[in-house]
Amino acid sequence: MLTFEHVRKNYDSKRVLDDCSISFAPGKVYALVGPNGTGKSTLMKAAAGLVKINGGTLTYKGQPIGTESKKHIAYMSTEPFYYDYMRIRDVKAFHKDFFADFDADLFDRLLTFMEDLKIRALSSGMAAKLKIAVTLSRRAEVIMLDEPLNGIDLIGRDQIIHTIIQATGSGATFIISSHLFDELEPIVDNVVMMKGGKVILEGELEAIRAEHGKSISDLYREIYADTAVPQF
């Protein structure tokens, strides 16, 4: 179990995670939702061991996040993380060398439609699919995808959702962040809503629907109405 207890994270004077407490149970699919700037990415980076928290407790299976937890937690960031000169086969070789749980055959199956192009030649949609394939090809116990639908057209989104659905049968914990919740709603078990660096609502999808008497998408619009960018 991945557990945050009263976690705080500051970037200079800005507090990005503020008394954040949440536990992610094994085998569940979580939607981590909220507009940009609510702390979703920082939460995931902290769990991946990429940023150091300023306070509170962050553990995986009761042990602090560190070298050992990184063997079991796969994270896909929103930022590009390959050199432009690399080819797709180089990306595969890199991950095979660094991660004992990387399944090269699964990687090949996920990208059968793509040629062995250089990274610089990939469209934004193809680059996004490559990042997702690399992450899902790890046989990790926790898989975190940060905004996997960003910059993807409707057909591409359908393909990515289908790929994620296939992967969720592995028994891993999935944490998928997005501010485009409509596409995620059909595939998740639990919802975690963040605002101002805090978890403001979390629970099973159906239980939240029943309690509030509305869809999660409608609830999202209600909760985050004050964060919307004015239209002119």
More confident residue, 122 or 163: 122
| Predicted local confidence at residue 199, as pLDDT | 94
Percent of the chain at pLDDT > 70 equals 96
Q: Note the pLDDT tens digit of each residue in 213-227.
A: 988 888 888 888 876
Q: What is the mean pLDDT of residues 25-43?
A: 91
More confident residue, 6 or 222: 6
* Model pTM score: 0.90
Q: Note the pLDDT tens digit of each residue in 86-145.
A: 999 999 999 999 899 999 999 998 888 788 889 899 888 888 888 889 999 999 999 999
Neighbours of 152 (CB within 10 A): 21
Ranking 100-109, 158-167, 199-208 by mean pLDDT, the lowest is 158-167
Report which residue type is found at 216. Answer: I
Residue among 173, 81, 171, 172 nearest 130 (CA): 81
pLDDT at 232 exceeding the cut of 60: no
More confident residue, 82 or 21: 21
27: Cα separation from own chain's centroid: 15
Burial class (CB in 10 A: 0-12, 13-18, 19+), 177: buried
